[in-house]
Amino acid sequence: MKNLLPIFSYILHPIFISVYATLFYLYAAGDVFGTQEKYYVLIQIAVINVIVPVLFYLLLKSTGHVKSIMLSQVSERTVPLVLQCFLYILLVKRSIVITRYPELHFFFLGALFSTILALVFVLFKKKASLHMVAISGFAIFVIGLNIHFQMHNPYWPALLILLSGVVASSRLEMNAHTSREILFGLFIGIMPQLLFLYLWL
């Protein structure tokens, strides 16, 4: 089991959570959106939240500003988090607009506030688990969608809660974070999503 845990740190890396959340949203929404629109939304999210950050990471790595994609040092996090804030703002202002995708709009708005909080921690030389920020925010989003769309499926929320625990164990097993940093990440990920949940639930 100890050999398997680190795999989850990569599969459930924060960079992929936006795609997973979008996939679940489009699945939960059912026939609200056409197939072509679903592909269009997914491509946008993949480009803005996966491809652009990966290219930017490669640039930072080549210039020596970061050592690994896990951003283990506090000093490595400032520039990527600032970039992520701008990318989320781009999404909620230009792409995932409230009039067309209200639930997903508030998810990304919550993710923006979580990223800002993580950046504030960095400014105070504190590190929060970005993995926990992402997976816990995703878990709250799934629970909200399960209620909002009246899916009556307890397995999806249970799975996300389980995966949150697995990710926490993975980060601890890899000695990437302390228990306090895991809790910081959990708090930063959950609170904005809970606050925005009341606006669309």
Give the whole-angstrom CA distance, residue 103 versus residue 145: 8
pLDDT at 179 exceeding the cut of 90: yes
* pLDDT on residue 97: 94
Predicted TM-score of the model (pTM):
0.93
Q: How many CA atoms lie within 13 A of 103 on its CB side?
A: 22
The candidate with the shortest Cα–Cα distance to 8, out of 185, 180, 162, 163, is 163
User: First vs last Cα of the chain: how many Å apart?
Assistant: 37
Paired tokens of 26: 């489009």
* pLDDT on residue 2: 64
**Which has more confidence, 97 or 3?**
97
Paired tokens of 83: 């970039």
* pLDDT on residue 1: 58
Would you say 114 and 192 are in contact if contact means Cβ atoms under 8 Å apart?
yes
